[in-house]
Amino acid sequence: MKNFKNLLEHQLKNLYNTENQWIEILPRIIENISDERLKFIFIHHLEETKKQKKQLEQVCNDLDIEPTGEKCTAMEGLLKETKDFLSEVADINVMNAGLIAEAQKVAHYKISGYCITIRYAKELGYCEVSRKLQKILNEKYDIDDKLEEIAENRMNKKAMA
């Protein structure tokens, strides 16, 4: 990287790859969820993530950046943990509670990435880019809140029973 804009570009490509990896595994997660309300939340989250990916493509287009070409190894690690979890758990209630935890780990990773990228965009004077990224970040916070609520009020209690 030669300059600060290259660092922003790196972050955007990283986020784009992160969203792609998440989109790839979400259907497998959804098929392992037994609770209908939780399944609905994850299905909605998959559709929202696909829209966010398109919004990231638009942000990259606005900045003349090709979003592809980077592999997020941190996300690969998080998803390896998720795949391992899927293959190890037998109890459906533990599965539901654990998949919430796995999704929240991913959400928190993505939230930190968006926060960093928004800061870089603001510092470079890309107000519209930072506004678009902030919208995505707000949606990330929303899904994390929904997952937290259903974990605390429903899934964790079922898993403990």
pTM above 0.85? Answer: yes
**55 CB neighbour count, 10 Å cutoff:** 16
Q: Does the pLDDT at position 1 exceed 90? A: no
Domain tally for the chain?
Answer: 1
State the pLDDT at residue 53.
98
> For residue 42, what are the domain limits?
4-160
Q: Which helix (H) or strand (E) holds 101?
A: helix 92-123
Q: What is the pLDDT of residues 32-91, one digit of tens each?
A: 999 999 999 999 999 999 999 999 999 999 999 999 989 999 999 999 999 999 999 999
Q: What is the Cα–Cα distance from 94 to 128, expressed in whole angstroms?
A: 42
Give the CATH number, domain containing residue 59. 1.20.1260.10
Residues 107-122 have a mean pLDDT of 98
How many CA atoms lie less than 13 Å away from 106 in the CB half-sphere? 32
CA dihedral 48, 46, 51, 136 (to 10 degrees): 50
